[in-house]
C-alpha cells in the first residue's frame, strides 16, 4: 500500500503524497460501488420475494415467477407480445387502459401477463394483485362462509392495487355474490382509472355471455382485446 509506514511509537501513519490521495480516492469509489451493488441486490431480493408471494397467494404458482419478455418467443405471438411489452414499459404513463388476452390454451396468455407483472414490480415497484379467477372465487366463497374478513381484505387489494391481473376469467360461472364483488372491484378500478390485465380462454362473445353484463361492459370499456390463436406451446416439440 503506498505511503503507509510506522512511526517511532508504533502508530501507523499515512503520508499525503499524490499516490496516497489517488489510492484513497479509488478506494472510496470502490466502496461506493460495492454499496450500490448491495442496495440493488437487496432491492432485487425484496421485489423477487414480493413477486413470489403474489403468485403463490394468488393461486397462479411459482412457475410464472420466471416468465419474462426475454424468455418469450416473440415470433409466435408478435402482436400480443408488443402490446404486453408496451403496456409494461409505459406503465408510468398508464391512464387506466388494460389488456384482455383471449384465445387458445397454451398460447402464452398467462406467460405474458406474468411477464408484465414481473417487469412492473421490479421497474416501478408497483403493487400487483395477480389472481387466478377460479382460486379467487373459491377463496371468497370460503371466507364468506367462515364469516372471515378475508373476503373484504381481498376485495380491497383487488380494488386498490396499481395493477390487477385476473388469470383465466370466465373459467367458472360466478354466483350472484361473487358477481357483485367483481362488479364493485371492476367498477371501482374503472372510476379510478386503474388498469387490469385479463387472460381468458373464452373469446369476447363467449365472455359476454358468461359474465354478468355490467361487469363485462366495464371490462370491455377499459381493456383492449388481443386474440392469441395457435397451437399449445407445450405441444410444439411433441406434434410432428
Ligand X SMILES: Nc1ncnc2c1ncn2[C@@H]1O[C@H](COP(=O)(O)OP(=O)(O)O)[C@@H](O)[C@H]1O
- Kindly state whether residue 69 participates in binding ligand X, applying the rule CB under 6 A: no
Name the burial class of residue 212, with classes exposed (0-12), middle (13-18) and buried (19+) by CB atoms within 10 angstroms of its CB. Answer: middle
- Near ligand X by CB under 6 A: residue from 54, 67, 128, 226: 67
Q: Which of residues 192-221 bind ligand X (CB under 6 A)?
A: 199
Strand ranges for 89-231 from DSSP E: 98-103, 128-132, 163-167, 196-200, 223-228
Residues 6+ apart with CB under 8 A from 139: 59, 150, 151, 154
CB environment 28-57: b (16+ within 10 A), e (fewer): eeeeeeeeeeeeeeeeeeebeeebeebbee
- Report the residue number, 102 or 110, with the smaller CB distance to Mg ion: 110
**Measured at the alpha carbon of residue 225, what is the angle toward residues 220 and 228, in degrees to the nearest 5?**
150
CA atoms within 13 A on the CB side of 65: 17
Binding of ligand X by 107 (CB under 6 A):
yes
Q: Is 108 in the site for ligand X (CB under 6 A)?
A: yes
Location of C-alpha cell 384465445? 103
Residue 238's Cβ-count burial label (10 Å; 0-12, 13-18, 19+) is exposed
Residue (39 or 105) nearer to ligand X, CB: 105
* Partner whose footprint covers residue 107, from Mg ion, ligand X, none (CB < 5 to 8 Å by kind): ligand X
Site map 184..203 versus Mg ion, x via CB under 5 A: --------------------
Report if residue 106 touches ligand X, rule: CB under 6 A. Answer: yes
Nearest distance from residue 232's CB to ligand X, in Å? 7
Q: Does 76 bind ligand X (CB under 6 A)?
A: yes
Q: Which entry of Mg ion, ligand X, none binds 40, CB below 5 to 8 A by partner kind? A: none
DSSP state of 125: -
Q: Rule CB under 5 A: say whether 110 interacts with Mg ion.
A: yes
Stretch that binds ligand X, among 19-27, 101-109, 151-159, 180-188 (CB under 6 A): 101-109
Nearest residue (CB) to ligand X, 94 versus 199: 199
Rounded to a whole number of angstroms, the minimum distance from the CB of residue 128 to ligand X is 17
Task: Give the CB-nearest residue to ligand X.
Answer: 108
Residue labelled with grid coordinates 404486453: 84
* Residue ranges in contact with ligand X by CB under 6 A: 67, 72-73, 76-77, 105-111, 199, 233-234
Amino acid at each position: 500500500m503506498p505511503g503507509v509506514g510506522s512511526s517511532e511509537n508504533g502508530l501507523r501513519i499515512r503520508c499525503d503524497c499524490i499516490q496516497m490521495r489517488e489510492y484513497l480516492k479509488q478506494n472510496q469509489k470502490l466502496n461506493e460501488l460495492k454499496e450500490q451493488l448491495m442496495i440493488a441486490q437487496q432491492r432485487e431480493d425484496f421485489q423477487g420475494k414480493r413477486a413470489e408471494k403474489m403468485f403463490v397467494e394468488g393461486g397462479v404458482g411459482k412457475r410464472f415467477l420466471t416468465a419474462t419478455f426475454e424468455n418469450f418467443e416473440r415470433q409466435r405471438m408478435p402482436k400480443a407480445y408488443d402490446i404486453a411489452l408496451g403496456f409494461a414499459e409505459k406503465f408510468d404513463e398508464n391512464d387506466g387502459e388494460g389488456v384482455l388476452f383471449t384465445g387458445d390454451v397454451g398460447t402464452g396468455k398467462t406467460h405474458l401477463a406474468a411477464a408484465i407483472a414481473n417487469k412492473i414490480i421490479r421497474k416501478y415497484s408497483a403493487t400487483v394483485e395477480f389472481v387466478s379467477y377460479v382460486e379467487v372465487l373459491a377463496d371468497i366463497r370460503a371466507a364468506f362462509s367462515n364469516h372471515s374478513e378475508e373476503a373484504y381484505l381481498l376485495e380491497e387489494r383487488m380494488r386498490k392495487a396499481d395493477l390487477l391481473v385476473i388469470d383465466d376469467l370466465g373459467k367458472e360461472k360466478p354466483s350472484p355474490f361473487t358477481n357483485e364483488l367483481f362488479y364493485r372491484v371492476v367498477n371501482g378500478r374503472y372510476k379510478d382509472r386503474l388498469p387490469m390485465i385479463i387472460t381468458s380462454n373464452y373469446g369476447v362473445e363467449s365472455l359476454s355471455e358468461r359474465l354478468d353484463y355490467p361487469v363485462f361492459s366495464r371490462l370491455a370499456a377499459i381493456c383492449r382485446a388481443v386474440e392469441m390463436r395457435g397451437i399449445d406451446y407445450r405441444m410444439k416439440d411433441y406434434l410432428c
